[in-house]
Amino acid sequence: MGFFPETVYLLSLLTSLCCTALLWRGYWRTGRVLLMCSAICFVFFSLNNALLFAGAVMQPRLDLPLLRAATSLAGVTVMLYGFMWEIR
């Protein structure tokens, strides 16, 4: 297997962080609530990827599925709130 899974986990984390930064930049330029909710959603997704990296690579015996599920749920919840806000 080698270092391939670790690389994928790390690249996923970096991609989520880049998306977060770009969404925040878009929010600060336009002030659109949907961009803010998307940025917060990606903060939670980045945290989820960091927990995945920590659990799979740094501490393989560390069991974090409940915490990872909670961060995913929080991100999707914020995104749904943003969609509902935009519809109103």
Position of tokens 């974090």?
A: 64
pLDDT at 12: 95
The model's pTM is: 0.89
pLDDT at 57: 81
CB atoms within 10 A of CB 87: 6
- The domain spans of the chain are 4-87
- Return the percentage of the chain with pLDDT > 70, whole number: 97
Sequence-separated (6 or more) residues with CB below 8 Å from residue 47: 71
